[in-house]
């Protein structure tokens, strides 16, 4: 009986020792600590800015890194749309960034341009309008705020245009309000106007426009497929 008790006590102590050793290895030793932070997916933002925002000092126990909190801090960077943070045992932290992509260029007072993504967030600024981006013409004066539905609608329409048409767009506008957009209108480089309407039905709209745009009209309304209007 005594031998059984000693054996049981031995296993309890051994188990406690193992737990203590594992805990020490994870939290108290230098075996599993952050020695490197790898950043990928950046172009507009520097890796050093991402590392600074992550705020995980080297030497931090890997098991104590709150990846959700680190993700929130990195996503607070204006140019970052989303981030994925994961630990890389035994001593690394991996941060994958998805940056915002400019959808339109908005002319500012003084002649420079704010390059804005589909959510209305200013990604960067430029002295001149990039040739690859159409200008966005606000329906009312004043700055465009993040979350503006008209910007979102304009970006969505630009994203669904066929290449032959998207390459010809000089500027885009959307009627409605900041919370509810209406028709999107495209101004082409050759001076023609295309009322595209809302998103959806892109294939039908593009097909009708391709047939009509070779004529002498300068105004095309394909917002309601099957009942196109030209002037």
Q: How does pLDDT run across 147-173, given as a tens digit for each residue?
A: 999 999 999 999 999 999 999 999 999
Among 122, 204, 93, 200, which residue's Cα sits nearest to residue 157?
A: 200
144 vs 178, higher pLDDT = 178
Residue 23 to residue 182: CA distance in whole angstroms: 59
pTM of model > 0.85: no
Taking residues 207-230, report their average pLDDT: 94
Mean pLDDT of 196-220: 94
Q: Report the 10 Å Cβ neighbour count for 63.
A: 13
* Structure confidence at residue 16 (pLDDT): 47
On the question of pLDDT at 13 being above 70, the answer is: no
Q: What is the pLDDT of residue 14?
A: 46
pLDDT at 18 over 70: no
pLDDT of residue 1: 56
CA dist., res. 194 & res. 213, Å (int) = 9
Exposure string of 175-196, with b = 16+ CB inside 10 Å and e = fewer, is: ebeeeebbbbbbbbeeebebbb
């Amino acid at each position: 009986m005594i031998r059984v008790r000693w054996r049981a006590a031995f296993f309890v102590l051994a188990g406690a020792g193992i737990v203590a050793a594992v805990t020490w290895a994870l939290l108290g030793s230098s075996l599993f600590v952050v020695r490197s932070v790898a950043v990928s997916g950046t172009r507009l933002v520097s890796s050093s800015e991402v590392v600074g925002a992550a705020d995980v000092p080297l030497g931090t126990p890997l098991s104590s890194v709150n990846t959700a909190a680190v993700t929130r801090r990195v996503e607070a960077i204006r140019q970052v749309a989303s981030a994925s943070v994961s630990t890389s045992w035994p001593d690394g932290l991996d941060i994958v960034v998805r940056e915002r992509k400019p959808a339109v260029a908005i002319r500012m007072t003084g002649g420079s341009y704010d390059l804005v993504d589909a959510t209305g967030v200013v990604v960067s600024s430029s002295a001149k309008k990039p040739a690859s981006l159409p200008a966005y013409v606000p329906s009312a004066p004043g700055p465009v705020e993040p979350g503006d539905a008209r910007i979102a609608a304009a970006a969505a329409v630009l994203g669904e245009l066929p290449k032959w048409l998207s390459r010809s767009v000089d500027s885009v506008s959307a009627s409605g309000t900041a919370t509810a957009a209406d028709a999107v209108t495209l101004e082409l480089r050759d001076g023609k106007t295309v009322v595209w309407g809302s998103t959806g039905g892109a294939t039908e709209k593009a097909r009708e426009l391709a047939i009509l745009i070779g004529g002498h009209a300068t105004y095309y309304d394909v917002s309601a497929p099957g009942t196109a209007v030209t002037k």
